[in-house]
Structure formats: structure tokens, C-alpha cells
Amino acid sequence: MFSEKELNLDETELRELVAMLSEEQRAAYQRCEQAAIKRPTTYAALNTLFFLGAQHFYLQRWMRGSISLALGLTVAFLLLNGQILYGFAVLLALAIVDIPQLLNYEHLVHARNNNSMRQCLIRVKKSLR
């Protein structure tokens, strides 16, 4: 995981590269960035439903979201079938994995957004040559 200082430096470098683009490229970049950037508060809100994996799907972490969703459905199945101890054990394991991400959600989303910015910059440079 990156520190806040590293993430801010990375974002500043990306913004400087964007500033060097032509007017047409900057406009294309802005459209791409607006579509790609995720909000930390939305991620945090979705994390309250951690057993459904919604926060992972929001950041397009498909595999992780699918695993969380499958485990969440397993918990529901176990609880509905009277396997309360096993159901809560799986739920606890899922929570233990996701709680550190909730605590670091701003860094996690910032790192993802920096990567999205980088990808937008690459796309714009390739498409408008």
C-alpha cells in the first residue's frame, strides 16, 4: 500500500503530464478521467455491505468482488440452514479481510484513481497522434 505522500506525488506528476497535452488532448483526457474516477465516500458506503462485495465491484476488482459475493451467499445459506456457527465463522473471516481495506479506503481509492488517470493519459496519447 502506498503512503499518502507517494500517492499525492504520483497524482501531481500525472497532472503535470496532462498540462503538457494539447487543448484537444486535454479535453479528451478530461472526458476519460471523469468517467473513470471513483469517489472514496461511495467506496466507504459500499463497504458497509462488505459481505456482498459491492465495494470491490465499484473499483472494478471483479475477482475479489465475486469471491466476496460467493462467500456472502454462503453465509446466508449457512445461516438459513441452521449452520449458525459456520455462517458466523465465514462472516467473521470475510470481515477480518475487508476491515483493513475499510480503514485505508481513501488510499485504496486514490491509488486506483491514479492508475485510472495514467490509463486515460496513455489512451489519449495513442488515439490523438
The pLDDT confidence band at residue 58, using thresholds 50, 70 and 90, is very high
- pLDDT tens, 62-119? 998 899 899 889 999 999 999 999 999 998 988 898 888 888 889 999 999 999 999 9
Mean pLDDT of the chain: 89
Q: What is the pLDDT of residue 1?
A: 57
Q: Give pTM, 2 decimals.
A: 0.82
- If you write DSSP's letter for every residue of the chain in order, what string do you get? ---HHHHHHHHHHHHHHHHTS-HHHHHHHHHHHHHH---HHHHHHHHTTGGGTHHHHHTT-HHHHHHHHHHHHHHHHHHHTT-HHHHHHHHHHHHHHHHHHHHTHHHHHHHHHHHHHHHHHHHHHHHT-
